[in-house]
A and B are shown apart, each in its own frame.
Chain A
Amino acid sequence: MIFEPLELGVLTVRNRILRSSVGGRFDNYDGSGTPVRINWDLRFARSGVGAIISSNAPIHPRGAIVPGYAHIDSDDTIPFWRELGTRVHEHGCPYILQLVHAGRERILPFLQWEKGLSSTNEAEPLNGFPAQAMTLAEIQEVVEMFAAAARRAQEASLDGVEVAGANGMLPTQFLSSGINDRRDAYGGPLENRARFGLEIVRAIRKAVGPDYCVGYKISIQERLDELLPWLPKGNTLEESLQMCRWLEEAGADYLHVSAGGGFPHPRNPAGEFPAAQIVKTYDTMLSSGKHTFRNYLTFRTPPFNRAFGWWWTRPLRDREVEGINLGESRAVKQVVSIPVVVTGGFQTASVIARAIERGDCDGVTIARPLVANPDLVRHFEQGLDRAPRPCTYCNKCLFSFVEHPLACYEEARFDSREEMLREALSVYEGVEAPSEAA
């Protein structure tokens, strides 16, 4: 099952395993791409994944989540993406560009602006970054930015685009009943809250034409209350499913199922809450956000930090990390006829094969287990059910990347700390010095 091709609209993906959007702060602060990003993606192209979904690529500087990620915010960025696409294609791997506007959801503050754009004026609840409710004109501008970015991806000969509509990004901030507090045509009933995301898909479709793969990533379970108990739940399952039907009608070629109305969230990345790591590297929690005293207590001070760790893993009490979103993707598949891929801890061939056979999904997307084992697909090809040293879902990778190169930081998976560091820094190997590149 795993090694059968998958059709995402006009795009044929060579197998059922896609690298999910994951990438470190490898680029320049101004959003220009570097050879390090190319190295990073090539690592997965070489090892046989069906397709790569890029790191989140901001469609505008104000829509970036964290500095150091390559943007797709102007035509100047096209040559970089073309180069990246060409190099990945040399390994027979399609490349889907993930388009992001983060709105109020950020991981670090930015030099270029103070307030994030959002559906609401309410600050983001975890770090407290301020937000500003978008005017109707700003909404139209951002919709057009998505379309322009998709057109650039097409010009760069990439194979498709995916709208980052999940995990608390700007489209979630509109879609979620737990966040959107507008009273205009973009707030209130589901139809209105869905308007922004659907307009993005239609505008992209208009820009790229019918023969180009357009996907949409959506959090089916938002469950904001699972992160902080005083928050509302967010959309119901039925509301999310309705949105999926509308996305299909609007022209999406595939849906990518995730979870969580914000990031991070106990369901994404599901697993441990590495408090010791977080206080050191995830700066918004302590130094640069607004809720620093609460966060100082919650994350740094015993017993509060232990209590939060207990709270964080609560949703996992009756679920496995691997396949945590399979129930939701099954529900989505029942209401749409386009392919559905799903993320959430996948790293066992038998689990993936069974999910596809049962019709829970058409393919899976993988981030953390591929950070740990970039050659996971090769292991599956050789008949292994799992990599010899699987991902432990410790989440150290996703919380270290703010200050360190994105990599697996679970020392238990390595023979020594030195080996772990070699592996972490290997993404820089073979990066050319400016003199050689010139």
Chain B
Amino acid sequence: MSSEKTNGAAWPAIFQPLQFRNLEVKNRLFRSSISGRFDNYDGSGTEVRVAWDVKFARGGIGAVISSNTPVHPRGLIVPNYSHLDSDDKVPFYVELGKRVREAGAKYIVQLAFSGRQRDIPSVVYDKGLSSTDKPDPIHGFPCERMTRAQIAEIVDAFAQAARRAREAELDGIEIHGCNGYLITQFLSPAINDRTDEYGGSLENRARFPLEVVRAMRKEIGDDFHLQFKISAIDDGKALFPWAKEGTTLEESIQVCKWLVEAGVDGLHISSGFVFPHPRNPAGSFPLADVIRSYDTMLSSGKNTFRNYLMFRTPPVNKGFALLWERRARKLGVEGINLELARAIKREVDVPVLCAGGFQSASVIARAIESGGADGVTIGRPLIANPDLPNLFQQGHDRAPKPCTYCNKCLINFVESPLGCYEQSRYSSREEMVRHIMSVYEGAPLPSEVK
């Protein structure tokens, strides 16, 4: 089917613009925050990052949500992601935003702070800042409980980064408030064990993110797009049976209402109180790849002996992967968060975006038409098929070789370039390697060759 003939007519719900208060996006498809270790260790950006983000704009996405972007060196999740922690980083973002817009998409920068949760340690800091002083449950990275002064400092770091985003003439900001990073560490009753005004009641746990939103609004004014990504439920028991359940949907709905009151223009729904979590990234647990490249699990975390047994030693590792995958199957992958988004959408009057395995135009269109979400954000399926929006536009329901949710992409990125590592999707291993390495060449997308 040629794009001229259909021009998105097959999926009108997907290819109608989405109007936020301060931003219009040309369709309902967003690239979710995802990217590799493409930059310098000090957080300065490189041409490779530009090539990575431009690839999705060329593939027809409505807006690119950036990789997680630390607002402070002590907030980095993994080294080699560009930061927005100082004014000298602004020129890089000016260039990045310009190049993505030229390729046809809006650019929303995701401002992030790791807290106690990281993918690998960095020399930049030993202890993460958190609501608590208990280490994260997977890797065991140590952390320290933030003082009031530290909370104020980080609130300001978020606000200054927001100012820089506006100065760089980007199209908007997303606050990374989910998946176990610092803001979740405050919001979640399964993590936050404070007894001051930042812990305890929901109102207190929500204080930190609301302060961040208000401080940002003060810097960027009322006419700049600001959205918030939240884990609608923690679902602690899905990770470890002995974990606390954590934040409930009812609590998250209340937080979302407060966020909108505080000046948020859109909500982005995810789930899970840590990363990784069977809900996110939902799908397989690729043992061999985890062992080889996800170093914290074995070499650099604190829980290395437990993890050595759990991930490396048969039959314990097979058992762990089986359990993980059974939970993931039960939850479903494509649209895993849709009912959560729907519940939140009913209660707020800003557009709601939903993350979680979307890659079928019919599923996405139905989600929008049925009022489940106003748009969807896509991570892994776009890594597999960066031109998925173009394929939808041409009338396809799915890409010829869809994402298998094997999760090898998200595991391999620690040591190798981010890309699709599911060899069964390629005619050969060589083709897979070429596909992955193409980010360094600015190679054309398959749909551009035709």
- Which of B40, B94, B122 is in CB contact (< 8 Å) with A435? B94
A437→B308 CA distance, assembly (Å): 45
**Contact between chains at A32 and B440 (CB < 8 Å):** yes
Interface members, chain B 270-327 (any A CB < 8 Å): 291-295, 297-300, 304, 308, 312
In the complex where A283-B299, A433-B45, A435-B95 touch, is A109 in contact with B292 (Cβ < 8 A)? yes
Which one of B46-54, B205-213, B233-241, B350-358 contacts A?
Answer: B46-54
Q: Does B258 contact A (CB under 8 A)?
A: no
Given contacts A281-B300, A434-B95, contact A403 B416 (CB under 8 A): no
Structural contact, B304 and A435, CB atoms closer than 8 A: no
Closest to A409 in B: B123
Closest chain A residue, CB of each to CB of B300: A280
The verdict on A421 contacting chain B, using a C-beta distance below 8 Å, is yes
Q: Are B415 and A434 in contact (CB under 8 A)?
A: no
- From known contacts A288-B292, A434-B92, infer whether A421 and B299 are also in contact, taking CB-CB under 8 Å: no
Contacts of A300 in B (CB 8 A): 304
Interface residue? B433 (CB, 8 A): yes
A67 to B300, CA, bound (A): 19
Contact of A111 among B41, B294, B308, B433 (CB under 8 A): B433
Neighbouring B residues of A286 by C-beta, 8 Å: 298-299, 304
Q: Which residues of chain A from 274 to 314 have any CB-CB distance to chain B below 8 Å in the complex?
A: 279-283, 285-288, 292-293, 296, 300
Q: Are B440 and A36 in contact (CB under 8 A)?
A: no
Q: Mark A400-419, 1 if CB is under 8 A from B, else 0.
A: 10011100010000000000
Judging by beta carbons under 8 Å apart, are A433 and B298 in contact?
A: no
- State whether the Cβ of B202 lies closer than 8 Å to any Cβ in chain A: no
On whether the beta carbons of A428 and B433 are closer than 8 Å, the reply is no
Q: Chain B residues with Cβ under 8 A from A287's Cβ?
A: 291-295, 297-299
Check if B45 sits within 8 Å of A288, measured CB to CB.
no
Complex Cα spacing A296 to B309, Å:
11
Closest to A34 in B: B46
Residue A318, interface by CB 8 Å: no
User: Which chain A residue shows the least CB distance to B441?
Assistant: A30
Do A404 and B44 contact each other (CB < 8 Å), given the known contacts A111-B436, A286-B299, A435-B94? no
On chain A, the residues within 8 Å of B308 by CB distance are 292-293, 296
B243 at the interface (CB under 8 A from A): no
Q: Mark A206-230, 1 if CB is under 8 A from B, else 0.
A: 0000000000000000000000000
Q: Knowing A30-B437, A111-B433, A434-B92 are in contact, say whether A292-B312 is a contact too (CB < 8 A).
A: yes
Could you tell me the distance between the alpha carbons of A112 and B308 in the complex, rounded to whole angstroms?
26
CA distance A353 to B423 in the complex (A): 58
In angstroms, how far is the closest chain A Cβ from the Cβ of B82?
Answer: 9
What residue in chain B is nearest A435 (Cβ atoms)?
A: B95
In angstroms, Cα B128 to Cα A2, docked, is 48
Q: Which chain A residues lie closer than 8 Å to B339 at the CB level? A: none
Say yes or no: is B124 at the interface (Cβ < 8 Å to chain A): yes
Q: In the bound complex, what is the Cα–Cα distance between A285 and B304 (angstroms)?
A: 13
Beyond A112-B433, A279-B299, whether A433 also contacts B40 by CB under 8 A is no
| Chain A contact residue count (CB 8 A cutoff) | 40
Assess whether A421 is in contact with B440, with CB atoms less than 8 Å apart.
no
- Chain A interface SS verdict (over half): helix
A32 surroundings in chain B (CB, below 8 A): 440
Give the shortest distance, in Å, between A229 (CB) and chain B (any CB).
25
A34 to B92, CA, bound (A): 16
Contact in complex: A404, B50 (CB < 8 Å): no
A108 touches B415 (CB 8 A): yes
- Cα A437 to Cα B44 with chains together (Å): 13
Closest to A108 in B: B415
- Asked if B62 is an interface residue, CB under 8 A from chain A, the answer is no
Query: Is residue B120 within 8 Å, beta carbon to beta carbon, of the partner chain?
Result: yes
Q: Quick one: CB contact mask for B414-450 with A, threshold 8 Å, 1 for yes?
A: 0111000000000000000100110011000000000
Contacts of B44 in A (CB 8 A): 428, 431, 433
| Contact status A29-B440, CB under 8 Å | yes
A408 CB to nearest chain B CB (Å): 12
Query: Which residues of A sit under 8 angstroms from B436, Cβ to Cβ?
Result: 111
Check B416–A28 contact: CB distance below 8 A. no
List the A residue with the shortest CB-CB distance to B297: A287
Q: Is A231 an interface residue (CB 8 A)?
A: no
Cross-chain contact of B50 among A29, A428, A434 (Cβ < 8 A):
A434
A280–B123 Cα gap in the complex (Å)? 11
Give chain A nearest CB distance to B56 CB in angstroms: 18
> Knowing A280-B299, A283-B415 touch, does A431 contact B40 (C-beta < 8 A)?
yes
In the assembled complex, the Cα of A304 lies from the Cα of B97 at a distance in Å of 53
A351 within 8 A of B: no
User: Are A421 and B40 within 8 A (Cβ)?
Assistant: no
- A185 lies within 8 A of chain B by Cβ: no
Ranked 10 nearest A-B pairs via Cβ: A435-B95, A428-B42, A30-B440, A433-B92, A286-B299, A287-B298, A434-B47, A280-B300, A111-B416, A404-B123
B→A interface (CB under 8 Å): 40-42, 44-48, 50, 79, 91-92, 94-95, 120-124, 291-295, 297-300, 304, 308, 312, 412, 415-417, 433, 436-437, 440-441
Q: Which residues of A contact B (CB under 8 A)?
A: 28-30, 32, 34, 36, 67, 108-109, 111-112, 279-283, 285-288, 292-293, 296, 300, 400, 403-405, 409, 421, 424-425, 428, 431, 433-438
With A286-B298, A438-B95 known, 13 other A-B pairs at CB within 8 A are A28-B46, A34-B40, A108-B415, A111-B417, A112-B437, A281-B300, A288-B293, A403-B300, A404-B122, A405-B42, A433-B92, A435-B95, A436-B91
